[in-house]
Structure 1
Amino acid sequence: MKNKAIITSALPYANGEIHLGHVASTYLPADVTTRFLKLNGVEAYYVCASDDFGTPILIQSEKEGKTPSEYVAYWNKRDYDDFTSFGIDFDFFYKTSSSENIAFVQDVFNKLNAAGHVYEKEIIQFYCNNDKKFLPDRYVKGTCPYCKAIDQYSDLCESCGRVPEEISDPKCSICGQIPTKERTTHFFFKLKNFGDSLYKWLDENENLQKDVKKYVQNWIKSGLIDWDITRDISWGVHVPLEKYKDKVFYGWFDNHLAYISTAIKFLNDKGINGKDFWNSADIYHFIGKDIVYHHYLFLPAMRLGINSEYKLPDYIPTRGHLTLQSKKISKSRNWYIGLKQFLEYYPADYLRYYLVAINPYSQDDLNFDWNEFTNRINSELIGNLGNFVNRALGFTKKAFDGVIPETEKYDDKDMEAENKIKTLSTELGILMEQNHLDRALKKIMEFSSFFNQYFQHKEPWKKESGTTNCVFLSVNAARSMAIALFPFIPESSQKIWDQIGLDGRVNQNTWSSISDIGVKSGHVLGKVSPLFVKVEDEDIAKYKKQLGPVE
């Protein structure tokens, strides 16, 4: 692990609200990891941007009587506000329509073109005579030629994850009519030429998930296709050639370049040489499994095409999709929960805890289930963690007026408890570095469970020998948990910190200090109160009824 890092996550499309499915696989794992890296002494920056271009935005802005710029500005702010309410702590949140990104995308194109990695080609493209427009990307639906899945977009099969050369049984997704084919000239990126170098990069990068690498390498073996990088619409980054100035770049050509342009802008504005920092840092791109093709092939190939002027990613943590009550999330069918809506029900930390706990470092899909959410919050977050912190601090308040007592000679149980504290930071750190965030959170809960049992075993309320040791070590365990929990449930971790009566912000500590015995005898606790409020079944029943067809 380097002492510098840049963290990105797949850019939110500026065309609708953020829902639970968005945050589960990308933004929350990226935020948890960034918080961990910063605690661990890494100069880490989490940057993101709204993805502002494309046909859907053009059409929707027309419907609402807004310019595309006005439309995306609204969603850029709304998305940022929703993320912030959820505790996603971006160091910088920008936009793909920024002047910096537009200039950077055009510069990359010019370099690729000069190096011979781009060519012009007359193509036959779908055209809707009813809507009087070319139909790029998500405005053509049909059958995937590879896996035969129906109702797939022309630029990505959500079933097998591949990008079709041409979709079968096409239909206009605006009006449903069968489109005709018309001639137009597009620019293509020679992705085929990068097969060997991509395969080598995948082979040598030990940080990438083995199962993802394997099937991407199989795609390379089966033959890559050159990539159409322009579109016949008005809203996008325009091709910087006079003859083709009416054409714009395909969204997947420009949006991941915003990872770089956004980071460089942020760093340069801080007085840091952005390019030097990028090339000396660990680069993380957090994504969902539906965009593996773009991030494991297009993105590195484009960087290779400009002679790795900006280094390729070190980590591409890839996770599965979130389903809701075991059904695919669908905004059109009202089968989704908006992030803003959820945060009106419960604190952000409830959702952060649950989504990390159920989300393994794999491409397996995960499921949001209201009943499981209720059980986990009530039994784990409240019954285990909240219960331990409250009983340890509450008993100290009651029996010792909130003053941490002097210790006696430790018995075996005390020594075991102290050892649990002294080994926690290392045990957790290994899992966090490996991106097993769910396992790290589970280990913290096991730590809490151990101290619940330790407290029960020592029976300090009997005021017998060993009582002071129990109180001393239990309060120190609560302190350790406050720091360890910061990446996962930051608001609650600060509450624990404040109740212990410790100064400042919990994130001003180092990761290794988790294993310090940091609360000394004579220290005075702060005000103690329950950390969490129980999730009630009647509320859950009400929220379940809100899902489904709109009457």
Structure 2
Amino acid sequence: MAQKIREAEGLLRSVPNHGEQILPRDGEKNVLITSALPYCNNVPHLGNIIGSTLSADVFARYNRTRNRRTLYICGTDEYGTASETQAIKEKITPRQLCNKYHSLHVETYKWFDIGFDYFGRTSTPLHTEISQEIYRNLGKNGYLERQTKEQTYCEDCSKFLADRFVEGTCPHCGADDARGDQCDSCSRTLDAIDLINPRCLIDKHHKVVTKESAHMYFRLDEIQPRTEEFVRRSWKEGHWSPNSVINAEGELIDARLKQGLRPSPVTRDLTWGVPVPVDEDDKDGMRGKVLYVWFEACIGYVSITANYSTEWKRWWFDHKNVKLYQFMGKDNVYFHTIFFPSVQIGDGRPWTMLHHINTTEFLNYEGGKFSKSKNRGVFGPAARETEVPVLPRTTMSC
């Protein structure tokens, strides 16, 4: 059946040879597809499959049958506290943890017959290089500012508690298991200091206080007018999913846009991550800090493409010939429709930016949404052990 599809009139007539890199062509419709990068702190579950990879895979297969130059990339999101806290629980290093789970992700998606053209990871030298370059460009263009603010600090651990090292009560919905970066119950992004009754993840009996620390902030407020212009244009041209940042009447519905964007932190007091690039004098006091994972995570799409091909810029700096389609769960919408496009605008280069976003609702299980951090859901290896076939192979071939 696969061969018949390939030989059908008007459909896929040219199949790239094995090992041949897929690159866009001028004057043609070139399609760049991404699935949300899963955290590398556990094996993937059905929420990951339903939420981003399955729909993206179907769309990629469709475009290939239409004879379009199509590149479908994904990979594991490996930096930040999600990996670091899990490594502590498993008593191994973050690098060992990511090596372990990256392999399990690859095996699981292979069993599900997800047809990535390249599945990479963010803990690579190229990811560091590209992330640091974007950070420097934002600074050169005047979109970074140093702020000193109170942060949660564990006196017993003698360190700042960024993101998932601290939990507490969500100030918006009252959920008692909100993390320092996000509340799973209401999907609001958070600052750890906003949590009510914060607790140290290492030991909930440790004393958590607030203490000043200097960090660099991205001036989203300065970018907002240009971001809104992009959102309105791309939403209309790309036919974004209904649960994105604009409603059917073309009105902005994201509370952060409506209330006005505020400077967002892009550095953290951690060790596992992309080092903040500093000059010799380090006048901003950023030495020893890392880039915030929410800042560099979406850059992972770019760096993974760069690991796939040295000619990655042909995909990411050609908005005239390349259309970017991104697939994810609704909790990632803000970072793909507002935050990362703002970073691209502030960087100043002619980026290929979001054309269409496809977002899904949460897949629920046992009273809550699927969650790797809470170990809730049906996970890939368990699904494979049932020996129930994913789909007949003939129906999935292209």
Q: TM-score range by the shorter chain?
A: 0.7 to 0.9
What does 1:452-467 correspond to in 2, within 5 Å?
Answer: none
Q: Is the 8 A contact 1:6 1:278 kept in 2?
A: no
Pair 1:199 & 2:228 matched = yes
Pair 1:120 & 2:146 matched = yes
Cα deviation code 1:490-530 (max 9, x no counterpart) = x1427xxxxxxxxxxx52xxxxxxxxxxxxxxxxxxxxxxx
Counterpart for residue 493 of structure 1: 395
Q: Is the 8 A contact 2:131 2:299 kept in 1?
A: yes
Please tell me the residue identity of whatever aligns with 1:237: V
CA distance in 1, matches of 2:327, 2:376: 25
What does 1:423-442 correspond to in 2, within 5 Å?
Answer: none
Pair 1:307 & 2:333 matched = no
Counterpart for residue 303 of structure 2: 261
Name the SS of the counterpart of 1:61 in structure 2. Answer: helix
Cα deviation code 1:159-197 (max 9, x no counterpart) = 333323542312223322451011111110001112222
Measured at CA, do residues 152 and 298 of structure 1 come closer, stay the same or move farther in structure 2, by a change above 3 Å? Answer: same
Post-superposition shift, 1:144?
A: 3.1
| The one of 359, 362, 382 aligned to 1:321 | 362
CA distance in 2, matches of 1:327, 1:62: 25
Name the SS of the counterpart of 1:73 in structure 2. Answer: helix
Unaligned runs of 5+ in 2: 1-26, 247-251
| The one of 197, 200, 209 aligned to 2:241 | 209
Please tell me the residue identity of whatever aligns with 1:74: K
Name the SS of the counterpart of 2:383 in structure 1. Answer: helix
Name the SS of the counterpart of 2:332 in structure 1. Answer: helix
Q: List, as ranges, runs of 4+ consecutive aligned residues in structure 1 with deviation greater than 6 Å.
A: none
Unaligned runs of 5+ in 1: 351-488, 495-505, 508-551
Post-superposition shift, 1:59?
A: 3.8
Pair 1:10 & 2:36 matched = yes
Q: Is the 8 A contact 1:141 1:167 kept in 2?
A: no
Name the SS of the counterpart of 2:385 in structure 1. Answer: helix
Post-superposition shift, 1:121?
A: 1.2
Post-superposition shift, 1:64?
A: 4.2
What does 1:29-428 correspond to in 2, within 5 Å?
Answer: 29-62=55-88, 64-165=90-191, 166-169=193-196, 170-177=198-205, 179-205=208-234, 206=236, 207-214=239-246, 216-242=253-279, 243=282, 244-268=286-310, 273-276=314-317, 280-324=321-365, 327-329=368-370, 335-350=376-391
Please tell me the residue identity of whatever aligns with 1:253: F
Post-superposition shift, 1:151?
A: 2.4
TM-score relative to the length of structure 1: 0.60
- Which is higher, the Rg of structure 1 or of structure 2? 1
Cα deviation code 1:43-98 (max 9, x no counterpart) = 11111121111123234335545432232122111111111110111111111111
Please tell me the residue identity of whatever aligns with 2:334: Y
Counterpart for residue 23 of structure 2: none
Q: How many residues align?
A: 356
Please tell me the residue identity of whatever aligns with 2:79: F
Higher strand proportion: 2
Q: Is the 8 A contact 2:126 2:306 kept in 1?
A: no
Q: Is the 8 A contact 2:167 2:201 kept in 1?
A: yes
Q: Choose 212-221 or 92-101, whichever is displaced more.
A: 212-221
Post-superposition shift, 1:39?
A: 0.9
Q: Is the 8 A contact 1:5 1:42 kept in 2?
A: yes
Please tell me the residue identity of whatever aligns with 2:195: S
Please tell me the residue identity of whatever aligns with 1:189: F
Post-superposition shift, 1:147?
A: 3.9
CA distance in 1, matches of 2:135, 2:373: 36
Post-superposition shift, 1:114?
A: 0.5
Cα deviation code 1:347-370 (max 9, x no counterpart) = 4435xxxxxxxxxxxxxxxxxxxx
% identical equivalent positions = 28
Post-superposition shift, 1:203?
A: 1.4
Measured at CA, do residues 145 and 52 of structure 1 come closer, stay the same or move farther in structure 2, by a change above 3 Å? Answer: same
CA distance in 1, matches of 2:373, 2:33: 32
Q: Is the 8 A contact 2:317 2:352 kept in 1?
A: no
Cα deviation code 1:262-303 (max 9, x no counterpart) = 223323369x84445566211011111112221222111101
TM-score relative to the length of structure 2: 0.82
Please tell me the residue identity of whatever aligns with 1:70: Q
Name the SS of the counterpart of 1:316 in structure 2. Answer: strand
Q: Choose 272-281 or 2-11, whichever is displaced more.
A: 272-281
Measured at CA, do residues 2 and 126 of structure 1 come closer, stay the same or move farther in structure 2, by a change above 3 Å? Answer: farther
Higher helix proportion: 1
Please tell me the residue identity of whatever aligns with 1:172: C
